[in-house]
Amino acid sequence: MFKAILFDLDATLLNINMDYFLRQYFKKMTVMARDFGIANYEQLSRQVFESTGVMIADCNPATTNEDAFMSHFFASGYFDEADKMRDFFDYFYEEGFPQLKEYCRPFSGIPEMMEKVVKNHKVVIATNAVFPLKALKHRITWANLGHLDFELITSYEIMHFCKPHVQYYQEIADRIDVNPQDCLMVGNDMGEDLIAQKLGMKTFLVKDMLIEKDVPYRPDWQGRLQDLFAFMETLAS
């Protein structure tokens, strides 16, 4: 029925409250930046937040999300030592980010479902492309999915668009060489995930940790995780 299935990660495959998680994320980053010797470390979380917003809004197909973020980040003037700052980001995602594992947990049944899905479909971890691959791999591992081989993980190093832009989904389809009409998008965010329908993708809305938004889209299928498990079984058969 589908050649590819795209899965949102946070609050779909991984049990995580992103609002709370991000508060802990910025606290950890600030403390580590201070200890690393980053000047203006108290400004860091605010600037990362602002530059992420610029990155999300950017739709230049010639600019990766990482480049859009870094360009705005360093243009702020708060962080002049670019090499040191890049070294810090590498250090943070290698040493600090893994310590945030305690603020999330895996969903029961997700690993078993995904093991079956990857055998029959191209599978994309279609999380919003605002984090480096290191951070995404950590969260995939926290979901007990680190042992699986995915067709694509949408990190900010390789993607040129973010959710909720429809170009994000077109870029995925182009990268995996699958027509959008042959894809299913599974996610919990009505605004960021259901927009895939504009390309002809089918959608499954997961309602366990639903993010409701006033959008004109309605999912083709919806339900809680148990319903998703059953739906994936029908695809396998």
DSSP 92-158: IIIIIGGGGGGGEEEPTTHHHHHHHHHHHSEEEE---S-S-HHHHHHHHHHTT-TTS--SEE--TTT
pLDDT of 28 strictly over 90: yes
Q: Are residues 141 and 218 in the same domain?
A: yes
pTM for the whole structure: 0.96
Q: Are residues 182 and 136 in the same domain?
A: yes
Q: Are residues 207 and 126 in the same domain?
A: yes
The arithmetic mean of pLDDT across residues 72-88, rounded, is: 92
The arithmetic mean of pLDDT across residues 34-49, rounded, is: 95
Q: Which of 101, 135, 169 is the last residue of a domain?
A: 101
pLDDT of 237 strictly over 80: no
Q: Are residues 231 and 176 in the same domain?
A: yes
Q: Are residues 96 and 198 in the same domain?
A: no
Q: Are residues 120 and 97 in the same domain?
A: no
| Boundaries of domain holding 152 | 4-16+105-236
Contacts of 10 (CB under 8 A, 6+ apart): 16, 18, 21, 127, 139
Binning pLDDT at 50, 70 and 90, where does residue 1 land? Answer: confident
**Count of domains for the chain:** 2
Q: Are residues 32 and 70 in the same domain?
A: yes
Q: Are residues 51 and 159 in the same domain?
A: no
CATH number at residue 112: 3.40.50.1000
Q: Are residues 53 and 114 in the same domain?
A: no
Q: Are residues 121 and 149 in the same domain?
A: yes
Binning pLDDT at 50, 70 and 90, where does residue 15 land? Answer: very high
The arithmetic mean of pLDDT across residues 183-201, rounded, is: 98
Q: Which of 57, 83, 101 is the last residue of a domain?
A: 101
Binning pLDDT at 50, 70 and 90, where does residue 236 land? Answer: confident
pLDDT of 110 strictly over 90: yes
Pairing of the two strands 14-16 and 104-106: antiparallel
Q: Which of 50, 66, 101 is the last residue of a domain?
A: 101
Q: Are residues 66 and 29 in the same domain?
A: yes
- With a pLDDT cut of 90, the percent of the chain lying above it is 96
Question: DSSP string of 175-232?
Answer: HHT--GGGEEEEESBTTTTGGGGGGT-EEEEE-TT-B----S---SEEE-HHHHHHHH
Q: Are residues 180 and 159 in the same domain?
A: yes
